[in-house]
Amino acid sequence: MSARIVIIGASLGGLRAAEALTGLGVAPGVITIVGAEPHPPYNRPPLSKEVLEELGGIPDALAKTAFRLKPEVAAADWRLGIPAVAADLAARTVRLADGSDLAYDALMVATGLTPRRLPFPGGDGQRFVLRTLEDAAALRRALTPDRAVVVVGGGFIGCEAAATAARLGCKVTVVEPLGAPMARAVGAAVGAALQRVHTARGVSFRTGVGVSGLLCDAEGTLTGVALTDGRELAADLLVEAIGSVANVDWLAGQGLDLSNGLLCDNHMRVQGRGDLFGIGDVARFPNPLYDAEPRRIEHWCVPGQTARRAAETVVATLNGEAPPEAPFRPLPSFWSDQHAIRLQSFGLPAIADEMEMLEGALDTPDAVTRGVAVGYRRAGRPVAVLTIALPPGRALRHRAYLDA
């Protein structure tokens, strides 16, 4: 095949796309991978966990997180440190920040997300997000013992960052607008149980409130945050973990549906196009395992699953063949580590309308840390299972709940 395949985004999704294409027999010479970051692909999950706790600088963190490239993938044309800034979908070209244009026959988009920021000025140098190695290195330098850390947002990254900061001796408070941390992802009851686990390990919570402003002194130095209930919290530094937006600006103005990511069909083709594909965190796609609603799923497993599907469609299309007929029904899964306790989920707990205990109890921190399994149903049908503090073999056995 001599067609040109361009992958934008050189992280997990871009890497998995190159692996899938070469695995299907595509020659590395026709693949170009463009990445905004100067680094080769690295693994992000440790950035809020062990790498944040131990961070010894970027080279050290990169050594711990970089993916090993297979020779056929390393042989592709890698353009690192040069973001794509625009695309002309009619002409099938992508413009890079260095002014060069890349022509393509198939364009695979794996540009991931950028953390959202609070819409308030001030506190420069004291406000942190967690997405890149540089973000983790900057936050790690600031996490010295006894500092007052306010984490805004009690989702996965907020809770993991809070746990790590507490383990490093910081005084941590999580501000979460919902009634409990992690509630959107795992439900209110499990969220409340996780909150008790955190509280028992020194993390404080303000739930049911948001941040209404930053408190800064005359020099603009952050001293605290104002909450929507009128109270204030002292803060030496702020971790903004309030979600992310998809990196699709460079595709604007081309008539694509870019609302909440890149809208794709079940073959990971951008809707209405046969030469443009979405992969990983940036892609919003329907999964008939659940329903017809397109969703973006920010879990580590999804770039690999969607890259394989997209690569199969790319190769079939470029060979003039029909893409695979079987529907794409990937099982999403995630893990999270908080205070050295492992959460493991299979399925989509966030779409459930009821839950049931399968093992253990949620009522005390001790009960949770002895091991828990929770089943989630929607309209009576199992849609997810979540385990907390169970050894991997026992956690995996609970996956059978989804077969019922």
Residues in contact with ligand FAD by CB under 6 A are 8-13, 34-37, 44-45, 47-48, 83-84, 110-113, 130-131, 157, 247, 250, 280-282, 298-300, 303, 334-336
Closest CB to ligand FAD among residues 227, 341: 341
- The span from the CA of 66 to the CA of 155, in Å, is 25
Task: Measure the CA–CA gap between 390 and 373, rounded to whole angstroms.
Answer: 8
Tokens found for residue 232: 């204030």
Nearer to ligand FAD by Cβ, of 150 and 283: the residue is 283
Shortest spacing between CB 1 and ligand FAD, in angstroms: 24
Residues in contact with 315: Cβ distance below 8 Å, sequence separation at least 6, in sequence order: 1, 21, 24, 25, 26
Q: Given strand 381-388, what is the order of strands in its sheet?
A: 333-338, 341-347, 381-388, 372-378, 354-359
Nearest residue (CB) to ligand FAD, 22 versus 247: 247
Residue 259 or 364: the one with the smaller Cβ distance to ligand FAD is 259
Measured distance CA(378)–CA(26) in Å, rounded: 41
How much helix, strand and coil, in percent to the nearest 5, is found in the chain?
30, 30, 40
Report, in Å, the least distance between residue 37 CB and ligand FAD: 4
Closest distance between ligand FAD and the C-beta of residue 174, in Å? 16
Nearer to ligand FAD, 8 or 214 (CB): 8
Beta bridge partners of 27: none
Q: How many residues does the chain have?
A: 404
CB of 256 to ligand FAD, least distance (A): 14
Q: Cβ closer to ligand FAD: 41 or 224?
A: 41
CB-CB contact of 83 with 58 (8 Å)? no
- How many Å apart are CA 351 and CA 343, to the nearest integer? 18
Nearer to ligand FAD, 30 or 161 (CB): 161
Q: CB neighbours of 93 closer than 8 A, spacing ≥ 6?
A: 87, 101, 102, 103, 104
- Minimum Å distance from CB 53 to ligand FAD? 13
Query: In 3D, which of 211, 210, 207 has the Cα closest to residue 194?
Result: 207
In the bound complex, what is the minimum distance in angstroms from residue 215's beta carbon to ligand FAD?
Answer: 27
CB 52 to ligand FAD: min, Å:
8
The C-alpha atoms of residue 322 and residue 182 are separated, in whole angstroms, by 41
How far apart are CB 157 and ligand FAD at their closest, in Å? 5
| Nearest residue (CB) to ligand FAD, 211 versus 239 | 239
In the block, tokens 């805004």 appear at 152
**What are the φ and ψ backbone dihedral angles of 206, each rounded to 5 degrees?**
-120, 105
Terminal Cα distance for the chain, rounded: 44
- The minimum distance between CB 313 and ligand FAD, in angstroms, equals 17
Question: Between 155 and 187, whose beta carbon lies closer to ligand FAD?
Answer: 155
Sign of CA dihedral 341, 345, 350, 354: negative
